[in-house]
Amino acid sequence: MSARRVVITGLEVLAPGGVGAKNFWSLLSEGRTATRGITFFDPTPFRSRVAAEIDFDPYEHGLTPQEVRRMDRAAQFAVVAARGAVADSGIEFAELDPYRTGVTIGSAVGATMGLDEEYRVVSDGGRLALVDHAYAAPHLYDHLVPSSFAAEVARAIGAEGPATVVSTGCTSGIDSVGYAAELIREGAVDIMVAGSSDAPISPITMACFDAIKATTPRHDDPAHASRPFDGTRNGFVLGEGAAVFVLEELDSARRRGAHIYAEIAGYATRSNAYHMTGLRPDGAEMAEAIRVALDEARLPGEAVDYINAHGSGTKQNDRHETAAFKRSLGAHAGKLGDSGWVVTVRGVGFRLGHA
């Protein structure tokens, strides 16, 4: 039996400068940027003091006081984005078999903001070496265990199938979508709500990236501080946000007349097992992931019209990705335009348009 084809029929995005998918698309298509000096805390002690923050009021997006009290900011993003994606899909989730409906949420750093804040409380601002647990929030355990993100989304939409958090660093979101697509292909589920959420703009996260000099110290021009593949690049800008998709089987989507955004035609993931933070300059592992994804999609490299790179703005990553694209796509890598029907994102192929 051939594998089932998987399509995207709903989506929602929460991003700096563009809360909502339409607003986010406008931000991108108009070439605007949303990076600015950090406002969440005093960034003066840090090497990098710019970030991409979201102007987000959870109550304006329908969260209750209890949900806001219970959930870390990243979990709030995930729930709001999931509800938006479900609404966009037009699926009546209450009519679905809950055991055939699942959730995968990717997160690179989990509930960083919640944990950072709670540590300040239980340590009395860092003055206590032995923290006082009596001051901890009652839902601190949910901040510690990232699986709470998927559980919160599953609860919000009424899903009782697989509920999984994928945490693979910067590829967490795309790996979450790839994993969800595989579950539908193999027939384990019919509907998946899949995406990613992170809210890492906290002192501890800034300190970690400062230590390895991965974030930019360009404070004089925050709007243009992020400049990957540029000769003057000197690190990335830390940001927050969430994006969630509704995935379903193609025939099901056609039967109900759904709007189909894209087909997930191929997916692959690889690990270089090379260094904790370093990347091999030849891009071999990433090139292999791209090759396998294209093979699964049954598409030649020449069919790729657009590459959405990680683009961290570090010399090491930019060289790694450039080498990977040239290694996997050959001379075609230098011919890519900015409009097309196949997107390759870290080894994941999306066939755009109606299937």
User: In this structure, what token pair is assigned to residue 64?
Assistant: 């209750």
Contacts of 293 (CB under 8 A, 6+ apart): 266, 267, 268, 344, 347, 348, 349
User: In this structure, what token pair is assigned to residue 54?
Assistant: 């979201």
Contacts of 197 (CB under 8 A, 6+ apart): 74, 75, 77, 78, 81, 105, 106, 107, 149, 241, 242, 244
> DSSP alpha helices (H): ranges in 158-304?
172-185, 203-211, 250-255, 284-297
What is the rounded distance in angstroms from the CA atom of residue 20 to the CA atom of residue 25?
9
170 part of the active site: yes
Give the chain's largest Cα–Cα span. 63
What is the three-class DSSP state of 215?
A: strand
What is the three-class DSSP state of 270?
A: coil
Which position among 170, 208, 219, 332 bears the catalytic label?
A: 170
Among residues 168, 196, 13, 188, the alpha carbon closest in space to that of 104 is found at 196
User: In this structure, what token pair is assigned to residue 238?
Assistant: 């830390």
219 part of the active site: no
Compute the C-alpha angle 80/154/112, nearest 5°: 60
208 part of the active site: no
Rg over CA atoms, the chain: 20
Q: Which stretches does DSSP call E strand in 98-162?
A: 101-106
What is the rounded distance in angstroms from the CA atom of residue 197 to the CA atom of residue 191?
19
- State the catalytic residues: 170, 310, 354
